[in-house]
Amino acid sequence: MIGFLLALRLFAQQPDSAPGFDLTEAMIPMRDGVKLHTTIFVPRGVQAPLPFVFMRTPYGIAGAGRALRGYFHAFVTDGYIFVFQDIRGRYTSEGQFVMMRPPRPPRQRGDSSAVDESTDAYDTIEWLIHRVPNNNARVGMLGISYPGWLTVMAMLDPHPALKAASPQASPADMFLGDDFHHNGAFRLSYGFEYAAMMETSKEQEDFAFDRYDTYQWYLDLGPLSNVNARYLHGKIPTWNDYVAHPNYDWFWQKQAAAPYLTRVTVPTLNVAGWWDQEDFYGPMKIYDLLEPHDTGRVNYLVVGPWNHGGWAGEGAKLGDIDFGGPTGTYFQDSILAPWFAHFLKDQGELRQPEAITFEAGSNQWRSWDQWPPRRRTTERSLYFRAGGRLSFEPPAGNGAAAFDSYVSDPAHPVPYRHRPIQPTYSPHGSDWYAWLVQDQRFVDGRADVLSWETEPLADDVTIAGDITANLFVSTTGTDGDWIVKLIDVYPEEYPKDWKLAGRQLMVANDVLRARFRNSFEKPEPLRSNQVTPIRIDLHTQDYRFLKGHRIMVQVQSTWFPLIDRNPQTFVTNIFEARASDYRAATIRVYRSARRPSSVKVNVVRP
């Protein structure tokens, strides 16, 4: 949930000015009397009234001037007043910090003493337009990750001066698909390390691991009940919330965006990255939620080949994958800055299509009149076949028993990335930021990972839109996780870049905790040895599998320590499971005509 990639380190430096700007610091009062620390950068020598670019953050604003020399450079060229603010309870702002503070309920919207992130944004904008000289009474808000979510909150009951908003990599639902859970499966390493970092003090403080390879540290931890018993001792509110709310109850639902995004209040530019390791679900969900209400056609989407916040940099490469040019710079200069200039300064005709997506594989930007582009695609399924084959042709015959199997052992979980697995925010460097493009050959061939792949493609296959895994599975346990990955397998002969020869690049992936297969609110056990259909949303993509490449699907049941170990024995609350609850289970994935496990994709028509 860290914006600007390393914003927690970047903004937490000494106060920072910017050449060509006058810097003012203010403690702006909110309606309940709490004052929020705010920095205001006004360009020198400008005569015409200027709009504001406003960002709110929990990560500290002392070094915010650096953004003017980096991500905001195109805005600086156009001319804006820049405003940065510490939210309640963070750094030198007053008040109490609440992680993902829920919006106040409708019954409190007439109560002048009720506050949330929306009211704080409103009150700040009201102060700015009346107190900062030479402004044109127009405000644009944007932010990446948590600041993106704060932008969404400002859109709920917006100040009339808020004329444009760009929530970027914003979470939308912390149980269904963003930082802390995916489809009910707890994101252990991130959920633990982020909560400990954010709630140890008003500033950032990393948890002190005594092992460089956190895979072993989390394995030695044992059951999740040991977290409070050994380390946190009940002092981290967010961890206590994980434990108290293991299902999709009122606590998670009141934080989710779905109940609130029932209208488009301001023009919105949603931004996401295909390989966002923290919040890909969120921006796509926010766009989807706003679409039915977008009568003015001002809800836009941009998705590029980026990790979390990667569009704030050059964006030419991610890990070893080269995208053929500076995609981040292109976004900043040719999409983001013109979009804000149109709405805040009446500059230029808006030529923004409904959706702009980067098609990796071919390394081209694509424009669409809707997303997903259903009118331009055909649904097809990639079926699991005998001998590790993957095919667009379904299994033949009337049999029901064909399957592949593996033993999933919580004592020996599959690592989610190459070991050693450094702490997420390790000051000594971490592979966290690019793990989604790591070569998956490090697990292919493990006895507890199944793989199916096509023959080399005779022609390019381009997919655009939703991806869904439909599996038929059984287990000797009474609970379990299923992880599915859609993979592009590069040719073994790849002279264009030999380090990519044979590479297995993840294109889409996700996990389902099977207890939530029918309901996220009311978990239920699996029946041992009974075939069960499960559906896993692998989200959405725009990707071209090139001629000569292969398409692969991998299935496994552990992804550690990204996802906590499922005991594979149904318990009421996994956060309170005992060591004896963790048991190995034999998993079967069926691939018969009656039970045709597959991954459904949407293939772009020629």
Q: Return the pLDDT at 92.
A: 93
Q: Indicate if the pLDDT at residue 480 is higher than 70.
A: yes
In this prediction, residue 427 has a pLDDT band, given cuts at 50, 70 and 90, of confident
Pairing mode, strands 461-475 and 481-489: unpaired
Q: Return the pLDDT at 111.
A: 75
Which helix (H) or strand (E) element contains residue 187?
none
Whether residues 458 and 386 share a domain: the answer is yes
Whether residues 19 and 123 share a domain: the answer is yes
Q: Indicate if the pLDDT at residue 400 is higher than 70.
A: no
In this prediction, residue 401 has a pLDDT band, given cuts at 50, 70 and 90, of confident
Whether residues 425 and 518 share a domain: the answer is yes
CA neighbours within 13 Å on the CB side: how many for 399? 12
In this prediction, residue 200 has a pLDDT band, given cuts at 50, 70 and 90, of confident
- What average pLDDT does range 82-95 have in this prediction? 96
In this prediction, residue 45 has a pLDDT band, given cuts at 50, 70 and 90, of confident
Angstrom distance (rounded) from CA 61 to CA 54: 12
Q: Return the pLDDT at 348.
A: 81
SS3 helix, strand, coil % of the chain, rounded to 5? 25, 30, 45
Q: Indicate if the pLDDT at residue 9 is higher than 50.
A: no
**Range of the structural domain that residue 51 is part of:** 7-172+257-368
* 406 domain-assigned: yes
Structure tokens at 451: 């793989």
Q: Return the pLDDT at 6.
A: 40
Find the range with the poorest average confidence among 33-47, 52-66, 199-213, 482-496.
199-213
Q: Position 15: which residue type?
A: P
Angstrom distance (rounded) from CA 103 to CA 327: 35
Could you say which of 252, 277, 297 is where a domain stops?
252
Residues 43, 20 contacting (CB under 8 angstroms): yes
Angstrom distance (rounded) from CA 325 to CA 337: 19
* 548 domain-assigned: yes
Read off the pLDDT of residues 455-467 as tens digits, 9 standing for 90 and up.
999 999 999 999 9
Whether residues 351 and 295 share a domain: the answer is yes
Q: Return the pLDDT at 470.
A: 98
DSSP character at residue 360: B
Q: What angle do CA 511, 533, 392 make, to 5 degrees?
A: 85
In this prediction, residue 65 has a pLDDT band, given cuts at 50, 70 and 90, of confident
CATH label of the domain that carries residue 399:
2.60.120.260
- What average pLDDT does range 427-433 have in this prediction? 90
Whether residues 282 and 300 share a domain: the answer is yes
- What average pLDDT does range 209-213 have in this prediction? 94
Q: Return the pLDDT at 5.
A: 38
Residues 410, 566 contacting (CB under 8 angstroms): yes
In this prediction, residue 16 has a pLDDT band, given cuts at 50, 70 and 90, of low
Whether residues 430 and 548 share a domain: the answer is yes
Q: Return the pLDDT at 368.
A: 97
- What average pLDDT does range 544-548 have in this prediction? 98
Angstrom distance (rounded) from CA 603 to CA 381: 10
In this prediction, residue 13 has a pLDDT band, given cuts at 50, 70 and 90, of very low
* 1 domain-assigned: no
580 alpha carbon, distance to own chain's centre: 34
Angstrom distance (rounded) from CA 346 to CA 339: 10
Whether residues 589 and 449 share a domain: the answer is yes
Whether residues 591 and 485 share a domain: the answer is yes
Who wins on pLDDT, 230 or 203? 230
Whether residues 284 and 300 share a domain: the answer is yes
Q: Return the pLDDT at 204.
A: 76
Q: Return the pLDDT at 7.
A: 42
Q: Indicate if the pLDDT at residue 128 is higher than 70.
A: yes
* 2 domain-assigned: no
Could you say which of 298, 333, 368 is where a domain stops?
368
Find the range with the poorest average confidence among 64-73, 115-124, 164-173, 376-385.
64-73
- What average pLDDT does range 425-450 have in this prediction? 94
CATH label of the domain that carries residue 202:
1.10.3020
In this prediction, residue 606 has a pLDDT band, given cuts at 50, 70 and 90, of confident
Structure tokens at 161: 């001066």
Number of residues that this document lists for the chain: 606
User: DSSP characters for 317-339?
Assistant: EETTEE-SS-HHHHIIIIIIHHH
Q: Return the pLDDT at 205.
A: 81
Angstrom distance (rounded) from CA 328 to CA 313: 6
Whether residues 467 and 528 share a domain: the answer is yes
Percent of the chain scoring above 70 in pLDDT: 97
Read off the pLDDT of residues 308-346 as tens digits, 9 standing for 90 and up.
999 999 999 999 999 999 999 999 999 999 999 999 999
Q: Indicate if the pLDDT at residue 10 is higher than 90.
A: no
* 463 domain-assigned: yes
* 45 domain-assigned: yes
Whether residues 321 and 434 share a domain: the answer is no
CA neighbours within 13 Å on the CB side: how many for 506? 30
Number of domains in the chain: 3
How many helices and strands in the chain, by DSSP H and E?
13, 25
Whether residues 234 and 339 share a domain: the answer is no
Structure tokens at 459: 């022609």
Could you say which of 333, 368, 403 is where a domain stops?
368
In this prediction, residue 24 has a pLDDT band, given cuts at 50, 70 and 90, of very high
Residue among 131, 101, 118, 123 at smallest CA distance from 165: 118
DSSP character at residue 68: H
Q: Return the pLDDT at 4.
A: 41
Respond yes or no on whether the N-terminal peptide bond of residue 338 is cis (omega within 30° of 0). Answer: no
Read off the pLDDT of residues 588-598 as tens digits, 9 standing for 90 and up.
999 999 999 99
* 498 domain-assigned: yes
* 290 domain-assigned: yes
This model's pTM is above 0.85: yes
Residues 204, 197 contacting (CB under 8 angstroms): yes
Find the range with the poorest average confidence among 60-69, 228-237, 411-420, 521-530.
60-69
- What average pLDDT does range 498-520 have in this prediction? 98
Percent of the chain scoring above 90 in pLDDT: 88
Q: Position 88: which residue type?
A: R
Q: Specify the residue for token string 């695609």.
A: 377
